[in-house]
Amino acid sequence: MRPTALAALSLSITLLIAPTVTQASSSNATLSQEDAAWLRRDAFGLDTATVAQYRALGRKTMLEKQLDDRLGDSLPAPVAAQIASYESFYTPLDQLLTSIQDEQQQIKAMLDGPTKVAANQALQARGNKLGQEAQQAELLHAIYGPNQLKEQLAWFWLNHFSVYAQKGRVRWELADYEQNAIRPHALGKFRDLVMATLESPAMLEFLDNAQNAKGHVNENYARELMELHTLGVNSGYTQQDVQQLALILTGVGIAPTNGKPEKFGPKVAPLVVRNGLFEFNPQRHDFSDKVLLGKTIKGSGFDEVQQAVDLIVKQPACAQFISRKLAEYFISDNPPPDLVAKMARTFRHSDGDIAEVMRVMFQSRDLISNAGKKFKDPMQFVVSSVRLGYDGTPIVNAQPMVGWLNQLDQPLFGRITPDGWPLDNISWSSSGQMAKRFDIARAIGTGNNQLFTPVGSTQRGAGFPMLTTRLYYDAIEPYLSPATHDALAKATSQQEWNTFLLSSPDMNYR
């Protein structure tokens, strides 16, 4: 590493201790400091299209369109085509799981030897590829999605309802989880989001509820549903509540994918519930009456599950827990209690309407007054750097970004425990983390990153980006700290200048 690069890296690490938001150095900036600060919270990071959209619509109208989701999920045609080419996205999940089961049966019938080993390795490689496709698709949506507020929420909810790719068949199910459980409900009713994750094969397998049956009760999902997904720790529920919820969830699982659907008698068949691969199997359900959070729930089948979720999400503790966690992600590690209380009231009065809760937060002055104090997690850092660096140019190979998140110790779908990656500043601001971020900033700033090299190709990429654009001078340069200006002045080339900017404290906070 060159001496100037080492000096800039050392400066970046030192400045992280006390980040500052400076006043504009010029009154001619097209985008005001407040507008720029609001957009950095609304989006993963600035790019020309986002700033243009903001100027055209204004803050209020842009926010309303985002909350109403009228901007949709439309992606640039090359990016949409790239995602559509992924096997995990063009193949229905039932077909994927049927194929893995068929392959496993064929491998099981083989004699031990090199052929069997190779077949096992090929099956594992296919599963890994499907998992990587889901990772790449989420990154591509985050970078190019026109509704950046929704994209941030999609990432937030994927982390909140975390699943681990390497457990069982989960990596085969990630695209379905992302596409059908999380993304459609990111701005809807929280209750619907909980039910969508509850019925998702990825969640059912990760937290073992697919094995939860009468006489063989598994409490894993019931515990995490209350502790991590809805109520939070120390919210008043007891171990008995966990046990009762586990009984309510018996029979909640996945339909067979072996081509031999289970047959039910005339008395049981009306109680079966199916939605895609989700299945409520009444023959595996405990029909006894339960008492959950002080309320009796009569044994009735799948209706018990719906009653339980309704009861849980209407608890004041749920409104408080979800509101605080959203504010922690978007505003600060210790969000203003008054704002969290207002968000929680809105959550309760709107029946858990996520868009209404977000409206309260994004119309609050706290969003602006805390600007520049929230440290980016690795996902935010990588996505914002690529958005700024390549400014809407469609990349053709998202795998390097998957690798960067692995290097930064936040692999997508890679959290082994079900609590999701931490949201606080201290978890991501160590000197080791900053050294890795400097290397990634250099890969982007110098163009040495393979983002524009198709997989399997040897062609050269698009070269290094030119960050000294109108976007930079209108929305970024006026608000950089003096220390960052000084570091940039020491750069000896455009590539080095790019690296210093992307690795600066200003670009690591939002």
Residues with Cβ < 8 Å from 57, sequence gap 6 or more? 65
What local confidence, expressed as pLDDT, does residue 71 receive? Answer: 67
Strands 278-280 and 252-254: antiparallel
**Number of Cβ within a 10 Å radius of residue 114:** 7
CA nearest 30: which of 477, 480, 504, 497? 477
Is residue 17 scored above 70 in pLDDT?
no
- In the DSSP assignment, the letter for residue 29 is -
Sheet containing 278-280, strands listed edge to edge, beginning at the edge strand earlier in sequence: 252-254, 278-280, 273-275
What local confidence, expressed as pLDDT, does residue 370 receive? Answer: 87
What local confidence, expressed as pLDDT, does residue 454 receive? Answer: 86
Percent of the residues in the chain that have a pLDDT greater than 70, as a whole number: 93
As to burial, measured by CB atoms within 10 angstroms (0-12 exposed, 13-18 middle, 19+ buried), residue 504 is buried
Convert the pLDDT of each residue in 398-446 to its tens digit: 999 999 999 999 999 999 999 999 999 999 999 999 999 999 999 999 9
What local confidence, expressed as pLDDT, does residue 14 receive? Answer: 46
Average pLDDT value for the chain: 92
Is residue 510 scored above 60 in pLDDT?
yes
Tell me the two tokens of residue 42.
Answer: 């609304």
What local confidence, expressed as pLDDT, does residue 406 receive? Answer: 97
What local confidence, expressed as pLDDT, does residue 464 receive? Answer: 86
Rg (CA), the chain: 24
Tell me the two tokens of residue 36.
Answer: 């720029």
What local confidence, expressed as pLDDT, does residue 67 receive? Answer: 96
Is residue 19 scored above 60 in pLDDT?
no
The residue that leads in pLDDT, 432 or 4, is 432
What local confidence, expressed as pLDDT, does residue 425 receive? Answer: 94
Domain definitions of the chain by residue range: 3-57+375-508, 68-199, 212-230+236-300, 316-369
Convert the pLDDT of each residue in 192-208 to its tens digit: 999 999 999 999 999 99
Spell 265-287 as b/e; 16+ CB within 10 A means b: eeeeeebbbeeebbbbbbebbbb
- Report, as an integer, the average pLDDT of 41-46: 96
Convert the pLDDT of each residue in 101-155 to its tens digit: 999 989 999 889 999 999 999 999 999 999 999 999 999 999 999 999 999 999 9
CA nearest 327: which of 288, 369, 285? 369
* Chain mean position to CA 415: 12
The residue that leads in pLDDT, 493 or 20, is 493
Convert the pLDDT of each residue in 445-479 to its tens digit: 999 899 998 887 777 666 788 899 999 999 999 99
What local confidence, expressed as pLDDT, does residue 461 receive? Answer: 63
In angstroms, the CA 275 to CA 398 distance is 32
* Strand runs labelled E in 325-415: none
What local confidence, expressed as pLDDT, does residue 292 receive? Answer: 98
pLDDT grade, residue 5 (50/70/90)?
very low
φ/ψ of residue 220, rounded to 5: -55, -55
Q: How far apart are the first and last CA of the chain?
A: 27
Place of tokens 């190709």: 457
In angstroms, the CA 12 to CA 18 distance is 11
